[in-house]
Structure 1
Amino acid sequence: MNMQHRRGQFELAMPIVIRKSCLAFTQEKSARDTEIRIDQLSMASRAVVSRIAADYDEMKPAWFCLRVLTGRESAVEKLLDDADVEVLVVRSGAYKVVRRGRVRIMPSRPVVAGYVLVRCLNLPAAMAGLAHVNDVLAIVGGASSPYRIHDDEVIRFKALADDGKYTHRVPVKVDYMVGEQVRVCDGPFASFDAIVTSIDMAEKFRVSVEVSIFGRSTPVELDIAQIEKM
């Protein structure tokens, strides 16, 4: 079956023919691209990390940070977990709030909105695979030199969440202002300086900041307990 489209603006008005072979080539190319992305992502898998780390002493896995669409953290987490990639989204516990005299249960949520942590080797193919995962916007620090997070900081961050540090039950007193310079005190961006860009204390106990990582400004939404005055 051929599809013909006549373009009146062409002087000779020659028909443009799209043949089955052209459509098949496009479909095959798309399939090949998908296979390449899957192969690249497999380079970040636990199996590959374990095999390479066992064979090469100098190759050590580390935690890296993916910036993802806010609200899609769980979807990215599941996709990576299904691909055998070690992934972590640290969440707060559910908590109660009172609004207009009614008690509402707020569900568990990511402590650092819009970010997912992965543990793998810093291999070009692995980073390319992670960068092409659906809903992933970027690798923090860039794919060529991604920002490494210390294992101890990830362990501490998860322990704080498990202990309920980010689970708020009553309003907390906060004395921060938009434009103020603060320091991130825990989580994947611990020890970085940041600028407060907005504060939402009424409902979510959240603060938005701009963190400078390797000279790049990175927007991050944090729990209010994750920042401190300088």
Structure 2
Amino acid sequence: MTMQFRKGDLGSIVVSAEAWMKRDGAAASARLRIDHLNMASRGAVIRLAKDTELPKPGWFCLRVATGREKAVEKVLEASDVESLVVMTNECKVVKRGRVCILPPRPVILGYVLVHCSPIAQAMVGLLHVKDVIDVVGGAIRPYRADMDSIIRFKKMAEEGKYDKSASKQHQFMLKERVRITEGPFASFPGTIVSIDDEKGYVSLEVDIFGRPTPVQLMLDQIEKI
């Protein structure tokens, strides 16, 4: 089925009805995603917290594409969703006799923290944000991070604890079992997959609620078991 329009001598402009339907469907899908994301907004958190039959709001962890942490945080904040990417401070380091400026960088790569109510609509909205890969623990029963641990973690970052992790000496080895000491994954054990001595990051495979979860954080955040 097609619709035809004539415009002077330019001939016929043929528009497929299927194309119109796809356009309308895409618009409806976009509106649905926005509505769902609104369920994770600050206003929704306040409103839903009054319903005693719903789970309490809290901090949850989104796994995102590495390098896109701040971009995801920006999109969420534009939608009035409370989010957090804990960053190091800009600092000076000496490398090979030269003073270099290290720009701020995420303390945990590939994750954005979100404060919301863990209801299905909110999780669907968050999963539809560009560059979001998954919700830690799964969208049905997401892992709830300890609020006190997050507050303490943020404070330590602001005080500069992680600013020079790249220069930290360590004795960790590949495939070694370690424990995460700070941040939203504090107390979880993990296995070392790789170590980036130059940047001070360590990649772990962490078992969270029976699901293997990749976590890349700084060397200051783990200890030997």
Partner deviation per Cα, 1:101-155 (whole Å, 9 max, x = no partner): 3211010001000000000001100000001100000000110110000111111
Q: Is structure 2 residue 203 aligned with structure 1 residue 208? A: yes
SS in structure 2 at match of 1:54: coil
Q: Is the 8 A contact 2:165 2:199 kept in 1?
A: no
Partner of 2:6: none
Instruction: List per-residue Cα deviations over 1:20-49 (Å, max 9, x = no partner).
Output: 211100100000000000000000000011
Q: What does residue 134 of structure 1 align with?
A: 130
The one-character-per-residue Cα deviations of 1:153-180 (angstroms, maximum 9, x if unpaired) are: 1111111111111111772220100010
Partner SS state of residue 40, structure 1: helix
State the shift of 1:56 in Å.
3.4
In structure 2, distance between residues paired with 1:119 and 1:162? 20
The 5 A counterparts of 1:21-170 are 21-56=17-52, 59-168=55-164
TM-score, L = length of structure 2: 0.90
Residue of structure 2 in register with 1:217 after alignment? 212
List gaps (5 residues or longer) in structure 2.
3-13
Q: 1:225 to 1:80 in 2, by over 3 A?
A: same
Given that residues 96 and 169 in structure 1 are in contact (C-alpha distance below 8 angstroms), is that contact kept between their aligned partners in structure 2? no
Question: TM-score, normalised on structure 1?
Answer: 0.89
Counterpart-to-counterpart distance in 2, 1:193 and 1:133: 29
Percent sequence identity is 51
Does the 8 Å CA contact 1:76/1:136 hold for their aligned counterparts? yes
Structure 1, gaps ≥5 residues long? 3-17
**1: CA distance, partners of 2:82 / 2:25:** 30
Q: Does 1:228 align with 2:223?
A: yes
After the TM superposition, list the runs of 4 or more consecutive aligned residues in structure 1 that deviate by more than 4 angstroms.
Answer: none
Which one-letter code corresponds to 1:56 in the other structure? Answer: T
Deviates more, 1:213-222 or 1:50-59: 50-59
Matched residues in 2 for 1:112 and 1:55: separation?
33
